[in-house]
Chains A and B, each alone.
Chain A
Amino acid sequence: MLLKVERIHHRYGKAEILKNIDLGIERGEVFITIGPTGSGKTTLLRLIGLLEKPTSGNIYFDGHRVTDSEGQRLAVRRRMAMVSQKPTAFNASVYDNVAYGLRIRKERGPSLHRKVMNALETVELAGYEKRNARTLSGGETQRVALARAMVIEPELLLLDEPTANLDPVSTSHIEKLVTDVIKKSDMTVLMSTHDMYQGQRLADRMGVLIGGEIPQTGNPDEIFNTPRSKKIAEFVGVENVLKGLITSNEDGLITVDVGGAILEALANLDIGREVCACIRPEEITLARAKDSTSARNTFSGEITHIVLFGPLARVELDCGFPLVALITKKSAEEMNLQTGTRLYASFKATGVHVIRK
C-alpha cells in the first residue's frame, strides 16, 4: 500500500472539516474521492500532500509514518506532486513553469530539456515553451500544471478537482490525459471531484466524502449501484429514494410498502424493518400500454414534468409516489410524452437497491 490515512481529524478553528478519515491507496491505482462542494475534499488532499498538518491522526507513505520532522516531510513531498483546482502558473514562460520541479531538484542540462519537452508534448503544448504561462487559457494552464507535476515522475499524483473550472473541451482533454497517459504509467493517482460521472469514468476505486466523513469506498459499480446510505444514494444520482417498510420476504425477494404502493426488490432483511428503496432513473422503462414483462415492478402514473437535456429526457411521474425516469430524447419524442400523459413505469427487482434506515 502506497498511502494509508489513519483516523484523520482536522479542524479550522471551531469548524470540524474532516472526521475520522481512514483510507488506503494501493500503488498504481487511480483513487477518486467524490463529494459535494465543501465536503472536505481539498482539505484531505492538502493534508495528504503535506501542505498542512492534521489536527490528529496519521499518514503513512510507503509504509512509513509521516512525522512532524520538516526534513522527512520534504523527502516525502518530493515523491508526490499536486495539481490544484484553480489553474496556477508562475509568472514565467511555459518552459520555466514545467522545469520548476526539476530545477529545485538540481536537475540541469540536456536531461532537463528532454524531460520538459516530452512533458509538453504529452500535454499537447509543444511550441508553447516561450509563451508566458499567464497568457494561457484556463484549460491550457491546467495542462501546464499537469505537465509540471508529471515531469518530476511522482509516485503519488494528487489532483484536486482539476477540471472544476474548465469548459467541457478542456475537461475532456484533461480526462484523456488521466486515462491515456497517467493510468498507463506507474503513477498512483488520488483525485477529487464533485462530478460523480467523472469519478465513474476515471476511477479504479472511489471514496465518497460527505460532511467530512468517508462513509463508503469501493469500485465505481459498488458506489453507484449499492450506495450504503440515503445521503450517498442521493449524491451518486439515485434520484428515486423511497422510504418504506418491508412487508414480506420470500427467499430474499422482499416486498416494500412505499406509501401504499408495493414494490419488489432483492434483499435479505426482516419483515417490519424500515428501509429506503433506491432506484436509479436509468433503470426505469416507460410504456404507453401495460405490456407483459419480466420486470417485477410496474406502476401506472402520470407525467408531471419533462426536462430535455442533450440526448436525454428526465421524466417525472406521479405513481402515487414520485418517480423519476431517464430515457432518451428520441424515445420521449416517438412516444409523444407530455405533461399529463398517463403511462406505465417498470423496473426489475434487481434494479432496486435496499438500504436499511
Chain B
Amino acid sequence: MQEIADAFVIAVKMIFTGDPEVYAITARTLEISISSTLIAMLLFVPLGCLIYFNNFRGKGLLISIIQTSYSLPTVFVGLLVFLAFSRAGPLGAFGILFTPQVMVIGQVILISPIVTGLTISALSGISPAIRDTAVSLGATRSQSVWAVLREARYAVLTAILVAFGRAISEVGLAIMVGGNIRGFTRVLTTAMALETQMGNIELSMALGIILVVLALIVTVLANRFLKVKEADVAQSRAHTS
C-alpha cells in the first residue's frame, strides 16, 4: 500500500514538474485519439443520418449489428488491421504498419459503430413533428435532415465524446498495430502496460493519472453537453418568472 502511495506522490511530481516523456506520450495520445474521433465524426455521423432517414430492407438488422459492435474487442480489430496492413496483407503496399496513421485507422474502425449507432439513437429521440415542421415550412431534404440533426446536437456530441473515451482508453489495438515504439507510437495505455512490466511504477502511475483525468474531462464534458439543454430551459424560465 505504501508503495502505491509513494508512486502516486512521485507521479504527481512528474506531472507538475513537466516530465518531457510524460508530456510527449500524452500529446501523442491526444493527437491520435482526437484525429480518429474527428475522422469518425465526419464519416459516421452522416452514415448514421443516412441509415436513420432512409427506409430499406434489413435496416433493423443493420442497426442491431451496429449496436452489437459497440463492444467489439480491441484486439480483434487490432488483428484485422494488422493483417490488412502487414506486408503480405491487401493494404501492405501503404507501408504504414507500426505508425500513428495505422493506429488512427484502427481507432476509427473501433469507434465507428459507436458514432453511427449513437447518432441513430440520438435522431430517434427527436419527435417526427420537427422534421414535418421543417418540411412544411419549405425545407429541402438536406435542410430538414439538418433541422433534426440540430435538435439532436447534444446527444450526437455525447456520442462523439463517448467514442473519444473508447479510443483514448483502448490498449490492445494500439500495441498490435502501433508496436509501442518509443517516441513514435507509444501512447498512454501502451506505455502504462510496458512501464508496469518493467517495474517503473511511478511513471506508469503518472500516465495512469493523466489517463483518468482525461477520461474524467470527457465525462464532465459529456454531462455538461447533456445539461446545457436543461440549463438553457431553466435559465429562460427564470428569466420569465
B130 at the interface (CB under 8 A from A): yes
Most buried by A among B127, B141, B232, B236: B236
B130 touches A90 (CB 8 A): yes
B141 touches A105 (CB 8 A): no
The contact string, 1 if C-beta is below 8 Å from chain A, for chain B 216-233, is 000000000000010011
A81 touches B151 (CB 8 A): no
A135 touches B129 (CB 8 A): no
B136 at the interface (CB under 8 A from A): yes
A86 at the interface (CB under 8 A from B): yes
A84 touches B229 (CB 8 A): no
Closest Cβ neighbor of B138 among chain A residues: A78
Q: Say how far A127's CB is from chain B's closest CB, in angstroms.
A: 10
A131 touches B136 (CB 8 A): no
B138 touches A152 (CB 8 A): yes
Residues of chain B within 8 A (CB-CB) of A131 are 236, 239-240
Residues of chain A within 8 A (CB-CB) of B139 are 104
B133 touches A88 (CB 8 A): yes
A91 at the interface (CB under 8 A from B): yes
A308 at the interface (CB under 8 A from B): no
A84 touches B232 (CB 8 A): no
Given the known inter-chain contacts A77-B135, A88-B127, A100-B134, please indicate yes or no for A135 contacting B140, CB distance below 8 A: no
Q: Say how far B164's CB is from chain A's closest CB, in angstroms.
A: 24
Closest Cβ neighbor of A73 among chain B residues: B135
Residues of chain B within 8 A (CB-CB) of A134 are 233, 236
Q: Say how far A52's CB is from chain B's closest CB, in angstroms.
A: 10
Residues of chain A within 8 A (CB-CB) of B239 are 131
The contact string, 1 if C-beta is below 8 Å from chain A, for chain B 128-169, is 011011111111110100010011000000000000000000
B182 at the interface (CB under 8 A from A): no
B57 at the interface (CB under 8 A from A): no
A74 touches B129 (CB 8 A): no
Taken together as a complex, chains A and B put the C-alpha atoms of A82 and B237 apart, in Å, by 28
A88 touches B138 (CB 8 A): no
Tell me the chain B residues, 189-241 only, with Cβ under 8 Å from chain A: 229, 232-233, 236-237, 239-240
Residues of chain A within 8 A (CB-CB) of B129 are 84, 86, 88
A230 at the interface (CB under 8 A from B): no
Tell me the chain A residues, 94-115 only, with Cβ under 8 Å from chain B: 100-101, 104-105
Residues of chain A within 8 A (CB-CB) of B229 are 91
Among A74, A88, A135, point to the contact of B130 (Cβ < 8 A).
A88
B151 touches A91 (CB 8 A): yes
Q: Say how far B75's CB is from chain A's closest CB, in angstroms.
A: 41
Closest Cβ neighbor of B143 among chain A residues: A104
A51 at the interface (CB under 8 A from B): yes
Most buried by B among A77, A86, A91, A158: A91
Residues of chain A within 8 A (CB-CB) of B141 are 70
Taken together as a complex, chains A and B put the C-alpha atoms of A135 and B137 apart, in Å, by 22
A132 touches B232 (CB 8 A): yes
Taken together as a complex, chains A and B put the C-alpha atoms of A84 and B133 apart, in Å, by 8
Taken together as a complex, chains A and B put the C-alpha atoms of A134 and B240 apart, in Å, by 13
Residues of chain B within 8 A (CB-CB) of A51 are 132, 135-136
Taken together as a complex, chains A and B put the C-alpha atoms of A160 and B129 apart, in Å, by 13
Closest Cβ neighbor of B229 among chain A residues: A91
A104 touches B237 (CB 8 A): no
A80 at the interface (CB under 8 A from B): yes
Taken together as a complex, chains A and B put the C-alpha atoms of A357 and B140 apart, in Å, by 50
A90 touches B150 (CB 8 A): yes
Q: Say how far A76's CB is from chain B's closest CB, in angstroms.
A: 10
The contact string, 1 if C-beta is below 8 Å from chain A, for chain B 44-86, is 0000000000000000000000000000000000000000000
Tell me the chain A residues, 112-156 only, with Cβ under 8 Å from chain B: 131-132, 134-135, 145, 148-149, 152
Given the known inter-chain contacts A86-B129, A90-B150, please indicate yes or no for A104 contacting B236, CB distance below 8 A: no
The contact string, 1 if C-beta is below 8 Å from chain B, for chain A 49-90, is 101000000000000000000100010011011101010101
Taken together as a complex, chains A and B put the C-alpha atoms of A251 and B133 apart, in Å, by 57
Closest Cβ neighbor of A149 among chain B residues: B137
Given the known inter-chain contacts A131-B236, A135-B233, A135-B237, please indicate yes or no for A101 contacting B130, CB distance below 8 A: no
B233 touches A80 (CB 8 A): no
Residues of chain A within 8 A (CB-CB) of B137 are 81-82, 100-101, 104, 148-149, 152
Q: Say how far A137's CB is from chain B's closest CB, in angstroms.
A: 10
Residues of chain B within 8 A (CB-CB) of A80 are 136
A135 touches B236 (CB 8 A): yes
Taken together as a complex, chains A and B put the C-alpha atoms of A86 and B150 apart, in Å, by 20
Closest Cβ neighbor of A85 among chain B residues: B129
Residues of chain A within 8 A (CB-CB) of B136 are 49, 51, 77, 80-82, 84, 158
Closest Cβ neighbor of A88 among chain B residues: B129
B232 touches A74 (CB 8 A): no
Most buried by A among B130, B137, B233, B240: B137
Among B127, B134, B135, B240, point to the contact of A135 (Cβ < 8 A).
B240
Closest Cβ neighbor of B137 among chain A residues: A101
Taken together as a complex, chains A and B put the C-alpha atoms of A70 and B130 apart, in Å, by 20
Name B's A-contacting residues (CB within 8 A): 127, 129-130, 132-141, 143, 147, 150-151, 229, 232-233, 236-237, 239-240
List 17 A-B pairs, Cβ < 8 Å. Answer: A70-B141, A74-B138, A78-B138, A81-B136, A81-B137, A84-B136, A90-B150, A91-B151, A91-B229, A92-B150, A100-B134, A104-B137, A104-B139, A132-B232, A132-B233, A135-B233, A152-B137
Top-10 shortest CB links A-B: A82-B136, A78-B138, A135-B236, A101-B137, A132-B236, A88-B129, A104-B143, A88-B133, A104-B139, A131-B236
